[in-house]
């Protein structure tokens, strides 16, 4: 019998994505625009794993009951934003012990000098001078473990996290140079618009959920009136001209509002500015407030529905942890073998 001499090609593996948010506060418009919003499109093209990064959160003191509550709220918010648990792996970081295990190994392949250069460490140790703990210092190593465990090809993050992606690549390259091709070298994926949303009160600083001044950030859980009020009292300048000048720090407040408006209306900051030519800051701020509220409204309606269903959320994070373990354990075993541990 003649056999056909055709090669059967294995289907190409879809590229993999890993990302996450810390439940260290209520999620801001910055986290949404710079990260979560973009995951929704990416889930169609990539194999995605998104986690609630609770282990990272404890690098800064948290109230335990609050952290637990916010972790589940974050899961509900992911889903409300359009992340589909049928398409993506959704899990709680601490449910997969491989993260801590790989982080330990990678700690031994990371230099103190590299970690000392990290901007986030410098910023956070200045803000939490009474608690400069070792976890805060080695945060980027845990983040490298998060990414490398899943052999992620891409990591969608905001601009503030790009330095951590760079160190992750350095650690992975160093490990691969010693032991062969163990890790996929990941690329950071930045959004075109809104990769860094700034504080409404100090527009040269990024919007942060742990900002002690709540007027500086818009929480995705804020009352709609509060959102409008915060936008209307955003710091701008006295020039009175609505123009997008990203290089000009004196326009940081207006640039930021233009970026937010652009994302919420699927436009770009220059076009938005053209539309408001000759108008005052008051009218512009009202329009931004309306766009933000209308963008958040459907997410909040979904969120309110999902957060009530605790059994559904539990099913998702349990199932997610199982799937996450399956992928991560393969990488961890390989790493353990390479460094010389006795693997059963």
Q: Which residues bind ligand AQP (CB under 6 A)?
A: 21-22, 24-25, 28, 30-31, 33-35, 53, 157-158, 160-161, 195-197, 206-210
Query: Smallest distance, Å, CB 122 to ligand AQP?
Result: 13
The Cα–Cα gap between 65 and 42 comes to 32
Burial of 268 (0-12, 13-18, 19+ CB in 10 A): middle
Q: Which residue is nearest to ligand AQP (CB)?
A: 34
CA distances in angstroms from 215 to 234, 249, 270, 318, listed in the order given: 8, 20, 26, 36
Query: Smallest distance, Å, CB 192 to ligand AQP?
Result: 12
What strands lie across the sheet with 16-21, from one edge to the other? Answer: 88-92, 47-52, 16-21, 154-156, 187-189
Options 196, 206, 230, 285, the catalytic residue: 206
The Cα–Cα gap between 191 and 38 comes to 7
How is residue 48 annotated by DSSP? E
User: Which of 165/289 has CB closer to ligand AQP?
Assistant: 165
Coil, strand or helix at 92: strand
User: Which of 29/335 has CB closer to ligand AQP?
Assistant: 29
Query: Smallest distance, Å, CB 165 to ligand AQP?
Result: 10
User: Which of 152/335 has CB closer to ligand AQP?
Assistant: 152
Query: Smallest distance, Å, CB 155 to ligand AQP?
Result: 8
Has 251 been annotated as catalytic? Answer: no
Query: Smallest distance, Å, CB 157 to ligand AQP?
Result: 4
Has 232 been annotated as catalytic? Answer: no
Burial of 67 (0-12, 13-18, 19+ CB in 10 A): middle
User: Which of 25/253 has CB closer to ligand AQP?
Assistant: 25
Q: Decide the pairing of beta strands 47-52 and 16-21.
A: parallel
Question: 269: how many CB neighbours lie within 10 A of its CB?
Answer: 23
User: Which of 33/289 has CB closer to ligand AQP?
Assistant: 33
Has 159 been annotated as catalytic? Answer: no
The Cα–Cα gap between 204 and 141 comes to 28
- Chain position carrying tokens 């408001």: 276
- Active site amino acids: 124, 206, 209
């Amino acid at each position: 019998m003649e056999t056909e001499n055709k090669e059967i090609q294995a289907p190409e593996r879809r590229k993999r994505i890993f990302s996450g948010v810390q439940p260290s506060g209520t999620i801001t418009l910055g986290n949404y625009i710079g990260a979560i919003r973009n995951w929704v499109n990416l889930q169609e093209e990539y194999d995605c794993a998104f986690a609630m990064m609770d282990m990272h959160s404890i690098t800064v003191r948290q109230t335990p009951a609050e952290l637990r509550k916010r972790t589940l709220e974050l899961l509900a918010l992911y889903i409300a934003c359009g992340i589909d648990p049928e398409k993506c792996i959704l899990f709680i970081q601490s449910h997969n012990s491989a993260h801590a295990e790989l982080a330990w190994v990678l700690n031994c392949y990371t230099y103190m000098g590299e970690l000392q250069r990290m901007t986030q460490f410098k910023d956070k140790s200045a803000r939490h001078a009474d608690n400069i703990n070792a976890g805060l210092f080695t945060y980027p190593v845990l983040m490298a473990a998060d990414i490398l465990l899943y052999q992620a090809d891409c990591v969608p993050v905001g601009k503030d996290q790009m330095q951590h992606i760079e160190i992750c690549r350095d650690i992975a390259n160093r490990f691969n140079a010693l032991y062969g091709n163990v890790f996929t070298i990941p690329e950071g994926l930045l959004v075109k618009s809104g990769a860094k949303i700034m504080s409404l009160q100090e527009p040269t600083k990024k919007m942060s959920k742990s900002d002690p001044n709540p007027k500086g950030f818009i929480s995705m859980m804020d009352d709609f009136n509060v959102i409008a009020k915060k936008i209307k009292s955003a710091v701008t300048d006295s020039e009175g001209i609505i123009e997008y000048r990203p290089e000009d720090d004196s326009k940081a407040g207006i640039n930021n509002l233009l970026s937010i408006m652009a994302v919420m209306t699927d436009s770009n900051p220059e076009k938005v500015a053209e539309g408001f030519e000759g108008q005052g800051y008051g009218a512009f701020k009202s329009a931004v407030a309306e766009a933000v509220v209308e963008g958040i409204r459907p997410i909040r309606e979904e969120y309110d529905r999902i957060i009530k269903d605790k059994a559904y959320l539990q099913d998702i994070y349990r199932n997610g942890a199982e799937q996450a373990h399956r992928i991560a354990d393969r990488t961890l075993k390989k790493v353990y073998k390479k460094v010389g541990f006795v693997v059963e």
